[in-house]
Structure 1
Amino acid sequence: MDIQLLHVFLHTAREGSISKAAQKLSYAQSNVTHKIQQLEADLQTQLFYRHNRGISLTPSGQILVSYAEKILNTIQEARAALSDSSVPSGPLHIGSMETTAAVRLPKLLASYHTQYPDVDFSLVTGPTEQHVHAVLHYELQGAFVAGPIEHPELVQEKVMDEEMVLVTSASHPPISSIHEVRTHTMLVFRKGCSYREKFSHLLQEEGLSPAKLMEFGTLETIIGCVSAGLGISLLPRSIVVAHEQQGRVRSHILPDKYSLVTTMFIRRKDALITPALSAFLTEMRSQFQENPKRCF
């Protein structure tokens, strides 16, 4: 089986479009189509359905995605394992929740980059659900997510506990119960965000439904809109402290059963721990062991 054909197939499957895959691979669209046809002929099965809306995976294609991910990742790991140098280098792709990246990671990343300048490091921010999917599909070597995450193919390591607080405009009076803000608009990240899920769980536990939900893509937008009085949000205290000191927002303590979220670092059990990842894990453990596990 031609590895290059698998590479093109996997990109096409992930993009869900031949034209998008061609653009990402810097190929002509006809070239991508031809390679997919070659692979289908080799395997004697149809991998994609072709329809007016584009393409979608057949059952055979869905099965091949899993094998293609493992095969291509194994080849990449083999190259790394056979490298002459034990010095951390090469690509390292890590995911993180936006709030963790904004407050907890800058010092860690700066220290890591200073010590290992040959590592081609990239940080992808997004919700927990997105990162779990990316780690499972070998798109990320690891990720900081809200946990615990129970999955047989993942290893998880506790990083810290974050205290969650209800955030309102600075002029809002003290809140003693979530029922007092049941008519407020809830400002949340997009679906898949663990903080959004915790907010929803809190409301359900209290027998409430949000009057209105407004979805935003960035932390700064949520903070800005809360400050302006558009609505309220649920965020880690570590994110809110500086904005509260500036008089932009006000935080309100939650009952203990709602107040904690554990940040975990996850990676695949079967993935090779490269020198770059090993050094990152060592630096991460050193960084967070210096501080209390409960980061309030």
Structure 2
Amino acid sequence: MELADLRTLVSVMEAGSITAAAKELNRVPSGVTTRILQLEEELGVQLFLREKKRLYPTDKAHTLYGYARKILAMMDEAEDRVRGMVPGGKFRIGALESAAAVRLPEVLARLHAGYPQIALELVIGTSRSLYEDMLENRLDAAFVVDMPEDDRLERMDAFAEELVVIAPEGHSPICCPDDIGRKTVLAFQGGCAYRNRLVNWFRAFGREPERIAELASYHAIVGGVIAGMGVGAVPESVLHLCRTEGILSVHPLKHPLCTATTELVWRRGMLSANMTALRQSLHRQDA
């Protein structure tokens, strides 16, 4: 197998079709098809099922795809080192919505200004989904909370966050779960680190949330609280993006579970030029 074969396979898998992959690779579709057929012949396996001009990857294609992503990432890192660690090319960063909205704009703007040759791609997800994306090499770096200990990853502290409960204006102080009572808690979907911390806060008092309503964004949570759907759990920094004065009350929980650190994580041994530039941008923010 040649690296060009692996790049072709990765492009077809991610683009979803020969035509889209050919456009991404700046090649003619027939050339991409020939590469895939030659790869199948060399390996002696069928990588794609072909039905009505559509391709469906087999289990063997998914397996090879995982290895191809790792090999290509290592080759990119090797090229960076040989060329003197010059940042550039595609750089895939994952982040929680709160970090992407509040913490990262300044950092990424500084990174882009210093290294305009980096093509940034930002993916929003929960800590769980971003962790899985890191292990599957779908991301080069991620900003997450409560990432499991994993020897395959390296990490550094990025931001400190405080989890607060928001309620309608005039709500009595919230210091423990009994102060929330049977009200619905508005939170992100399962896999959200802040939601998990809030549930654990309830359990630290021997309680469980009466009901959790899952919403897709912090703006939706804020809007739901304003509409009287219940109380919401959000990082305090998110409130800087919303006009909450006079319509919401904010309740710091003052519990160790409600102080969280957002970490920057990346694959162990994959400290590329782009990763180094991102870390430097973070350090300059702290200066």
Give TM class, smaller chain.
Answer: 0.7 to 0.9
Consecutive unaligned residues of structure 1, counting only runs of 5 or more, are 291-296
Consecutive unaligned residues of structure 2, counting only runs of 5 or more, are none
Q: Does 1:44 align with 2:6?
A: no
The one-character-per-residue Cα deviations of 1:66-104 (angstroms, maximum 9, x if unpaired) are: 321122222323333343x65543333322211112222
CA contact (8 A) 2:102 2:241 kept: no
CA–CA separation in structure 1 for the residues paired with 2:88 and 2:116: 8
CA contact (8 A) 1:153 1:268 kept: yes
Aligned to 2:198: 199
Query: In the superposition, relative to structure 1, how do residues 167 and 22 fare at CA in structure 2: closer, same or farther (>3 Å)?
Result: farther
Deviates more, 1:225-234 or 1:113-122: 113-122
Tell me the C-alpha RMSD between the 2 structures. Answer: 3.3
Aligned to 1:64: 64
Aligned to 2:272: 273
CA–CA separation in structure 2 for the residues paired with 1:172 and 1:132: 37
Matches within 5 A, 1:15-26: 18-19=16-17, 22-23=19-20, 26=23
The one-character-per-residue Cα deviations of 1:142-195 (angstroms, maximum 9, x if unpaired) are: 111103431111001112331111112224332232134343222222333212
Aligned to 2:281: 283
Aligned to 1:167: 166
The one-character-per-residue Cα deviations of 1:24-60 (angstroms, maximum 9, x if unpaired) are: 6548999877654543332123446789xx84642x4
Aligned to 1:248: 247
TM-score (norm 1): 0.79
Letter in 1 for 2:95: S
CA–CA separation in structure 1 for the residues paired with 2:33 and 2:181: 53
Q: Does 1:258 align with 2:261?
A: no
Query: In the superposition, relative to structure 1, how do residues 23 and 184 fare at CA in structure 2: closer, same or farther (>3 Å)?
Result: farther
SS at match of 1:262: strand
SS at match of 2:215: strand
CA–CA separation in structure 1 for the residues paired with 2:111 and 2:212: 42
SS at match of 2:164: strand
Query: In the superposition, relative to structure 1, how do residues 119 and 7 fare at CA in structure 2: closer, same or farther (>3 Å)?
Result: closer
Letter in 2 for 1:144: F
Matches within 5 A, 1:134-213: 134-205=133-204, 206-213=206-213
CA contact (8 A) 2:8 2:21 kept: no
SS at match of 2:107: helix
> Once the 2 structures are TM-superposed, how far is the Cα of residue 281 of structure 1 from its aligned partner?
0.8
TM-score (norm 2): 0.81
CA contact (8 A) 1:95 1:142 kept: yes
- Quote the sequence identity (%): 29
CA–CA separation in structure 1 for the residues paired with 2:202 and 2:154: 31
Aligned to 1:294: none
Query: In the superposition, relative to structure 1, how do residues 86 and 75 fare at CA in structure 2: closer, same or farther (>3 Å)?
Result: closer
CA–CA separation in structure 2 for the residues paired with 1:30 and 1:201: 55
CA–CA separation in structure 2 for the residues paired with 1:139 and 1:119: 17
Q: Does 1:113 align with 2:112?
A: yes
> Once the 2 structures are TM-superposed, how far is the Cα of residue 236 of structure 1 from its aligned partner?
1.2
CA–CA separation in structure 1 for the residues paired with 2:71 and 2:264: 24
CA contact (8 A) 1:96 1:126 kept: yes
The one-character-per-residue Cα deviations of 1:114-144 (angstroms, maximum 9, x if unpaired) are: 3333333333322222222333333322111
CA–CA separation in structure 1 for the residues paired with 2:9 and 2:69: 10
CA contact (8 A) 2:197 2:258 kept: no
